[in-house]
Amino acid sequence: MHVKQTIAIIGATGNMGQAIAKSLAKEENRLLLFSSNLQKAQLLAEEIKSNNAAVEVEGIACPVDASWEADIIILAVPYQAEAETAKKIKDVARQKIVISISNPLNATYDGLVTSADTSAAEELQKLLPDSKVIKAFNTTYAADFAQPVIDGKQTDAFIAGDHSSAVTVVEELARTAGFNPVIAGPLAVSRTLENMQLLMIQLTMKYNYNWHAGWKILHN
Amino acid sequence: MFEQLIKSIQDKVPATEQELQLCKHYFTPKKIRRKQFLLQEGDVCNRMAFVEKGSLYSYSTDAKGNQRVIQFAFEGWWISDLYSFFTKEPSSLNIEALEDSELLLLDHEQHEYLLKNVPQYETYTRMILQNAYVALQRRIEGTIGLTAEEKYSRFLNQYPTCLNRVPQHLIASYLGITPETLSRIRKQMAR
Q: Which of B135, B124, B142, B147 is nearest to B20 (CA)?
A: B124
pLDDT at A108: 93
Q: What residues contact B151, with CB distance under 8 A and at least 6 apart?
A: B142, B143, B175, B176, B177
Q: For residue range B22-35, what is the model confidence (pLDDT) as tens digits?
A: 888 999 999 999 99
pLDDT band, residue B190 (cuts 50/70/90): confident
Average of per-residue pLDDT across A83-94 = 96
Q: For residue range A59-75, what is the model confidence (pLDDT) as tens digits?
A: 999 999 999 999 999 99
pLDDT band, residue A1 (cuts 50/70/90): low
Q: Which of B15, B18, B53 is nearest to B33 (CA)?
A: B53
| DSSP string across B123-190 | HHHHHHHHHHHHHHHHHHHHHHHS-HHHHHHHHHHHSTT-GGGS-HHHHHHHHTS-HHHHHHHHHHHH
Q: Among residues of chain A, what percentage have pLDDT more than 70?
A: 100
pLDDT at A48: 96
Q: Among residues of chain B, what percentage have pLDDT more than 90?
A: 79
Give the ipTM of the model, two decimals please: 0.91
Average of per-residue pLDDT across A37-55 = 96
Is the CB of B90 inside 8 Å of chain A's CB atoms? no
pLDDT at B160: 81
* CA B54 to the chain's CA centroid: 12
Q: For residue range A102-129, what is the model confidence (pLDDT) as tens digits?
A: 999 999 999 999 999 999 999 999 999 9
Q: Do A2 and B42 touch (CB under 8 A)?
A: yes
* pTM for this predicted structure: 0.94
Which residues in chain B have their CB less than 8 angstroms from residue A68's CB? 29-31, 102
Helix H or strand E segment including A38: helix A38-51
pLDDT at B22: 87
State the average pLDDT for chain A. Answer: 96
pLDDT at B65: 86
* Better pLDDT: B66 or A167: A167
Q: Among residues of chain B, what percentage have pLDDT more than 70?
A: 100
A1 closest CB neighbour out of B26, B28, B42:
B42
Contact A109, A201 (CB under 8 A): yes
Pairing of strands B101-107, B28-32: antiparallel
State the average pLDDT for chain B. Answer: 93
pLDDT at B161 over 80: no
Average of per-residue pLDDT across A126-147 = 96
pLDDT at A143: 94
Q: Do A95 and B32 touch (CB under 8 A)?
A: no
pLDDT at A165: 94
CA-CA distance, A20 to A72, in Å (whole number)? 13
DSSP A188: G
Q: Do A3 and B30 touch (CB under 8 A)?
A: no
The CATH architecture to which A6-207 belongs is 3-Layer(aba) Sandwich (3.40)
Is the CB of B43 inside 8 Å of chain A's CB atoms? yes
What residues does each domain of chain A span?
Answer: 6-207
Q: For residue range B73-82, what is the model confidence (pLDDT) as tens digits?
A: 999 999 999 9
